[in-house]
Structure formats: structure tokens, C-alpha cells
Amino acid sequence: MAESFSLQNVLDTFKSSLSENKEIYIQYYIAGWKELVSFMNSLGTVFSFISKDAVNKIQILENLQAGESGSHYLTVQSMVKYELENELVDLTKRSSHPESGCRTLLRLHRALLWLELFLERLRTSTEESKTSVMCSDAYNESLAQHHAWIIRKATGVAFCALPGRDSFFQVMNAGSEQEVVALLGEALALISEVHQITEDLYGQNNLLELP
């Protein structure tokens, strides 16, 4: 993405990701993630190790979309249906389908919860709040339980190097602090709706613990 990050872009892409009957277009889900990656990258180089894995996951999904079965990867719903019906998902142990769309998107889905919890903390924070604390609290409540010790250790180091609250508000590129807070509220409503729809879909199909 050539242009620099703005919170409005995140809002717009996640808005576009929801179809009328509340399916999630993978193309826009990915576009939303690309925005988030450019957000993370603007937070400094330590954070790029974190965004790197998200970039890998995005790439896997883009390859599936561009592949010969690409038409089945229009929405998260159609992907789940297609991959399950055709036994393209490793359900208990990574073996013949180590990089299914379902398990790949699940990683982004879990990370999205982290982001949601973090942005909610940022939205309701005060001047004294520490971004490193907000970020690690959000992480411990969500993604940490899915990560091995070594990764938790490394993310902990990355959080310590986060810029302060003021820089975050500036990076959002959405005007005054009040304006950012308002826009965060809007963006969070959407992100949380997209997250909930995915969570329900994955729950109904027993996909929440895919290896």
C-alpha cells in the first residue's frame, strides 16, 4: 500500500468486507489486514517481526484466491464450506494440508481479537496510560494463550519498545485526539462485528483449535 496509514482506511476496508447477508469478503478482510500491517510498520522496526507473520498469512490467502480454486475463496463462509467438503483442512495435526485457508485465516482472526482489545484500551485510555501495558494486557487476554513461550517472550520485548500514546494518536492520522477516539469507536464496532461473525462460523464448524 503506497499511501501512509490512516484509521479511516481501516474502517472503510472492514466496512467493505461485510456483504449484505453478513458474509465476509476475504479480499477486503485481507485489505483491512494490509492496513493494519502498515500501521504496525509505522510503529517501528521491532514491530516488523510481528507484522512479518501477518504478511505471510495474507500472502497464503492471496495465493489461494489467485489459484485455480480461487472462486471458492470469495468469502470466509464459502472458503470454510469448500475446504471442509473437500477435506482440505488438517483437523487434528498438521500433515497434508499444513497451510489451509481455514487455519491460516484463524491465525489472523485470533490476532484481530488482540488488536480489538488493544484499540479498545487505547480508545478509553488517559494521558498517563502506557501503550506497552495496554498492548501486553490485550495480548495476554487473547493471543498469548495460542503462542509458545519463545514467541511470548519476543512479543514482550517488542511491546516495551512501543512508542508512547501520543505517537499512536498521531499515527492514526485522523485529526485531533477527540476525532481519533470517535473514529476508533466506529472502527471497533466493525472490527468486532467481523470478528464475531468469524468466531461464530468457526465455532459452529469446530474450527477454533485448528493446528
Interface residues toward ligand 1PW, by CB under 6 A: 40, 50, 53-54, 107, 110-111, 114-115, 118, 135, 143, 151, 155
- The three-state DSSP-derived secondary structure of the chain is CCCCCCHHHHHHHHHHHECCCCCEEHHHHHHHHHHHHHHHHCCCHHHHHHHHHHHHHHHHHHHHHHCCCHHHHCEHHHHHHHHHHCCCCCCCCCCCCCCCHHHHHHHHHHHHHHHHHHHHHHHCCCCCCCHHHHHHHHHHHCHHHHCCHHHHHHHHHHHHCCCCHHHHHHHCCCCCHHHHHHHHHHHHHHHHHHHHHHHHHHHHCCCCCCC
Residue 20 or 35: which CB sits closer to ligand 1PW? 35
Q: How far is the CB of 165 from ligand 1PW (least distance, A)?
A: 12
Report the residue number, 19 or 192, with the smaller CB distance to ligand 1PW: 192
Minimum gap (Å) between residue 21 Cβ and ligand 1PW: 28
**Of the two residues 22 and 44, which places its CB atom closer to ligand 1PW in the complex?**
44
Question: For ligand 1PW, which is the closer residue by CB, 97 or 107?
Answer: 107
Between residues 53 and 186, which has the closer beta carbon with respect to ligand 1PW? Answer: 53
Give me the least distance between CB of 176 and ligand 1PW, in Å please.
21
Q: Min. distance of Cβ 45 from ligand 1PW in angstroms?
A: 14
As measured in angstroms, the least distance from the Cβ of 40 to ligand 1PW is 5
